[in-house]
Structure 1
Amino acid sequence: MNEADALDIAQAAIWTVVVASGPAVLVAMLVGVAIAFVQALTQVQEMTLTFVPKILAIFVTIAISAPFIGSQISIFTNLVFSRIESGF
């Protein structure tokens, strides 16, 4: 295994993490912005108000996108195992 192989695997690992976590992070950001907008309009500055809807939205998003996340991790695992099988 040389440096190029290690960099390829590291790049694939980082990309897998970014793609797999993307839906949950995007939903958390959108829900956070929406709640901040509502708080700004109503002038209710309660810090705990943002946590419950954001957590619920993230759980629902993860439940819905679980097959996509699993497929991304499976693709990465197959890539690593094929590199191991071919002897790098």
Structure 2
Amino acid sequence: MSPDISLHLLGQLLWKAVAVSAPLLLTVLVVGLAVSIFQVVTQIQEMSLTFIPKLLASVAILVLIGPWMLGQLIAYSSSLIRSIPRLV
């Protein structure tokens, strides 16, 4: 396998990882920002107030988008495994 092919595969892997993790990370970012703004406005500084909404949002996103995420990972893995004879 040449270095060009391995760098191409690494690039595909990184972009797939970004695409799969982006919905979860963006959701947690938006929820965290909303909770922080709420805490600043109300001056409530409770630590569980920042943790619990992020946890609930993460679980909700994983339930809703989890099958898509799994499908993307399976498709990438199967295409990579199928291309092993061609790459070696």
Q: TM-score, normalised by structure 2?
A: 0.91
**Alpha-carbon distance in structure 1 between the residues aligned to 2:4 and 2:38:** 49
RCO (CA 8 Å, sep 6+): is it higher in 1 or 2?
1
Q: Which moved more, 1:3-12 or 1:68-77?
A: 68-77
Q: Tell me the equivalent position of 2:65.
A: 65
Instruction: Provide structure 1 residue ranges, at least 5 long, that are not aligned to the other structure.
Output: none
Over the aligned positions, Cα root-mean-square deviation in angstroms equals 1.2
Q: Tell me the equivalent position of 2:56.
A: 56
Q: Tell me the equivalent position of 1:82.
A: 82
Using the aligned pairs only, state the percent identity: 30
Instruction: Provide structure 2 residue ranges, at least 5 long, that are not aligned to the other structure.
Output: none
What whole-Å deviation, never above 9, does each CA across 1:10-62 have from its counterpart, x for those lacking one? 11111111111111101100000000011011011122211011011001101
Q: TM-score, normalised by structure 1?
A: 0.91
After superposing on structure 2, the runs of 4+ consecutive aligned residues of structure 1 that deviate more than 2 Å are none
Q: Tell me the equivalent position of 1:44.
A: 44
Q: How many residues align?
A: 88
**Alpha-carbon distance in structure 2 between the residues aligned to 1:10 and 1:87:** 14
- Which residue identity does 1:53 align to in structure 2? P
For 1:15-30, what aligned pairs fall within 5 Å after superposition? Answer: 15-30=15-30
